Amino acid sequence: MKRRPIIVLWMGIGIFVLFGLFPPTGSSRWPYDFILFGPNVDVILLCIHWAITTVVTGGLLYTLKVDPELKNKANKACFWVALVGLLVFTGIVILGIIVSVGNW
């Protein structure tokens, strides 16, 4: 198995996760902020960032002609990244509800 496709895959996943942890806030003062400290997240811009990252990573992997073993590893890695992202998102929503109610 070639090493370059694996590096491209993990770099794409890393950039995707970093955009999730430091999303665009829509503020001109701090355009990106940590998810727990940002006043408001620009969800549309975040989705655009994620889409561009996905397309560029997919294009690079297609250009490098991914072998079947890497596809299996990619599916497993994407599953775990999606699961962790879902858990983090759920925690942030619950934290936001608690803070908005004011009982925290």
The domain ranges of the chain are 3-101
Give the up-direction half-sphere exposure of residue 86: CA atoms within 13 A in the CB hemisphere: 6
pLDDT in tens, the chain (104 residues): 577 778 888 888 888 888 888 888 877 677 777 877 766 877 788 888 888 888 888 878 777 775 666 666 666 777 777 777 777 777 777 776 666 666 54
Q: What's this model's pTM, rounded to 2 decimal places? A: 0.56
- Check if the beta carbon of residue 69 is closer than 8 Å to that of residue 9: no
- The H-or-E segment that residue 26 falls in is none
C-alpha to C-alpha distance for 41 and 39, rounded to whole angstroms: 7
